[in-house]
Amino acid sequence: MTTRPANPQPHPPTTAIVLAGGAGRRMGGKDKGLIPFRDGYLIEPVLAALAPQVDQLIISANRHLSDYRAFGYPVVSDPHVEAGQEPEYAGPVAALRHCSSEATHDWLLLAPCDMPGFRPHWPGRLWEVQQSSHAAVVIAHDGERLQPSVALIHRPCLVQRPDLQPDKRRDRPQKTKPGQRLRELLMAGRYALCDLSADRACFANINTPEDLAALPDDPRCALRPPPFIKRG
């Protein structure tokens, strides 16, 4: 892992949280971050894009923890896993809240492990919107829809927003998708949108084997992992 000067960017220190703790049900139960992808693993292009421009990087994972630690970054699991129990796969809201308590810095940069097109200039664009809007949350927009798993979040605002964990929503008759819960949390207070429509194709999430096979062979849509990333 490379050593960088403290706070290399002209904005407050930032902790990146890479979400890799899902059950991967549509991928046949595979741990998506560790699916072989080109010259490495699916998570590696995201780490490659984020690592040089944040002050701390945390991987949220619930399986194969030693494999994730081999990338050289702290790994934070859901409380059930930390207690030695089977993971409940509580979703990105639970992961965000738990990882935020482990973060060193108050500004959090959220990213998914299954978006190999994550672009290195996105964090800078999110910061530009935050600095002009002074919003506590900035969410990426691809020109057609919100992308709540790509967001800049001021940690103190999380305690002011309602807890939208699934077990606190039993009064709702229909099941809500995890991504929708994350969107509701981020939009529960003041937020701003970051227009990243020029990179719409790069927002492809790899949820199924078909998604992986259909990923464009476009160099913008998957960075090669840098040499300092250690593979397990």
pLDDT digits (tens, 9 = 90+) for 31-49: 889 988 888 999 999 999 9
Q: Is 230 annotated as a binding residue?
A: no
CATH number of 14-165+175-217: 3.90.550.10
CA-CA distance, 117 to 221, in Å (whole number)?
Answer: 4
pLDDT digits (tens, 9 = 90+) for 80-135: 656 555 656 668 888 998 899 999 999 999 999 999 999 999 999 999 999 999 99
55: β partners: none
Cβ atoms of residues 147 and 53 within 8 Å: no
pLDDT at 23: 60
Q: Is the pLDDT of residue 1 over 60?
A: no
Q: Is 78 annotated as a binding residue?
A: yes
Boundaries of every domain in the chain: 14-165+175-217
Q: How far is CA 75 from the centre of its chain?
A: 13
